[in-house]
Amino acid sequence: MQTDLIAEARRQAEICNACRYCEGYCSVFPALHRERAFSDGDITQLANLCHNCRGCYYACQYTAPHEFDLNLPRALAEVRQDSWKVHAWPGGFAALFDRSGVAIAAGLTLAVAFVFMLAQGLRPADGMGFYAYMSHGLMVAIFAPAFVLPLVALAVSLRSYWRAVGGGRFHVRDMWSATASAGRMKNLEGGHGDGCNFEDEDRFTHARRHFHQATLYGFLLCFASTSSGTVLHYGFGLEAPYGIFSLPKLLGIPGGVLLCLGTAGLAWLKTMADPNLGAPKVWGGEMAFVLLLFAVSVTGLLLYAVTGTAAVAVLLPLHLGTVLTFFLLTPYSKMAHGFYRMAALTKEASAQR
């Protein structure tokens, strides 16, 4: 299957290389035009460099009904999705999530939430805040391996990908360049800074870039909030619950709001966009990831809003269920694309240097 997908993407890339009309559209085309022939690794690298903005498709004179039948966004999207499955470790889970993403995410969330609800029977007698419902030790015992093991799986997957695309040694400045590009969502600005064409054909818009940025920075703020709470707990002996003006709250609340808005916006745009310009077979898995991240942010904000009420007994297990499900599925859901995209941007920065 992967061989067929790469062969079709290679055919289209060779035509694009001869045409060169889209040279200034995004990072894909400068990288594409540097090559005279494309190995399997080259095509995989181009696929993970592509942000699926679709501008090249609407500008192309060789799309159907032309006999060349070019649809480079779809060809690269299918190679990209397949590359995540090929390099995923352990193998097999990614393909399963692609086929039944919404059902798997929802079922696993509810199952884990039910287990957490039962675990409340082991609640400590003198806990405060959330720890009145579930002990800190139990949360750490569950979430520490659920956080570390997916990172190990991702590291193994990325090592396999890096070798496949011919990645060699890189400098810190290459990673810094990739980080700056990802933070700015440079490739969603379009070749002339007008935005991309993801959801409205040939009309340019920055909506997708802005929603991606809200999701990225919201997630990073939430992660920073959790990290600051960990430092306060173990480094300074300051245990939760924390006040409104504490670092965990000052980071976590804006982060949750941004994450909620960003994922809701991305889900909405996904329903507006033409699925045939992406990888239509995995549309459900992609939507499941966005909705799962949305559920993490919404349940977190609601949990904060109902602190001190009886609703915590229901919302806490549900929130913890969404968070744990998110961690467990990270190497096999579209969350993996962020790590692969960073690797692709880093390699591209190295090539440009």
Res 96: pLDDT: 67
User: Could you tell me if 111 and 157 lie in one domain?
Assistant: yes
User: Could you tell me if 105 and 92 lie in one domain?
Assistant: yes
In this predicted structure, the answer to whether residue 5 has a pLDDT above a threshold of 90 is yes
User: Could you tell me if 69 and 98 lie in one domain?
Assistant: no
Res 288: pLDDT: 87
User: Could you tell me if 128 and 220 lie in one domain?
Assistant: yes
User: Could you tell me if 173 and 279 lie in one domain?
Assistant: yes
Average pLDDT, whole number, for the chain? 89
User: Could you tell me if 162 and 268 lie in one domain?
Assistant: yes
Q: Which of 85, 117, 138 is the last residue of a domain?
A: 85
Structure token pair of residue 138: 């139990």
Per the structure, how many domains does the chain have? 2
Q: In sequence order, which residues have a C-beta less than 8 Å from that of residue 220 and are 6 or more positions away?
A: 255
Q: Which of 85, 111, 145 is the last residue of a domain?
A: 85
Per-residue pLDDT reduced to its tens digit, 302-351: 999 998 888 988 898 999 999 999 998 889 888 899 999 999 999 999 98
Contacts 24+ apart (CB under 8 A), 116-124: 116/316, 116/317, 116/320, 116/321, 117/313, 117/314, 117/317, 119/317, 120/313, 120/316, 120/317
Res 97: pLDDT: 65
Per-residue pLDDT reduced to its tens digit, 283-298: 888 888 899 999 999 9
Q: Which of 341, 69, 81, 84 has the alpha carbon at shortest distance from 188? A: 341
User: Could you tell me if 78 and 99 lie in one domain?
Assistant: no
Say which residue the tokens 């590009």 belong to.
181
Distance CA 31, CA 37 (A): 12
Confidence of residue 238 (pLDDT cuts 50, 70, 90): confident
> H-type helices in 165-206, by residue range?
172-184
User: Could you tell me if 200 and 71 lie in one domain?
Assistant: no
Res 353: pLDDT: 76
DSSP-derived 3-state class of residue 196: strand
Average pLDDT over residues 274-287: 90
User: Could you tell me if 117 and 214 lie in one domain?
Assistant: yes
Q: Residue 346 belongs to what domain range?
A: 88-352
Q: In sequence order, which residues have a C-beta less than 8 Å from that of residue 226 and are 6 or more positions away?
A: 248, 252
Q: Which of 94-103, 136-145, 188-197, 269-278 has the lowest mean pLDDT?
A: 94-103
Confidence of residue 142 (pLDDT cuts 50, 70, 90): confident
User: Could you tell me if 25 and 66 lie in one domain?
Assistant: yes
Res 127: pLDDT: 62
Res 293: pLDDT: 95
User: Could you tell me if 142 and 235 lie in one domain?
Assistant: yes
Res 116: pLDDT: 79
DSSP-derived 3-state class of residue 205: strand
Say which residue the tokens 């090539």 belong to.
351
Structure token pair of residue 186: 């440079």
Structure token pair of residue 81: 């999705």
Structure token pair of residue 98: 């692609």
Give the CA dihedral 301, 305, 309, 315, nearest 10 degrees.
-10
First to last CA, the chain: 34
Average pLDDT over residues 103-124: 77
Confidence of residue 36 (pLDDT cuts 50, 70, 90): confident
User: Could you tell me if 68 and 106 lie in one domain?
Assistant: no
Q: Which of 85, 117, 146 is the last residue of a domain?
A: 85
Q: What is the DSSP string of 86-141?
A: HH-SSTTHHHHHHHHHHHHHHHHHHHHHHHHHHHGGG--SS--GGGGTS-HHHHHH
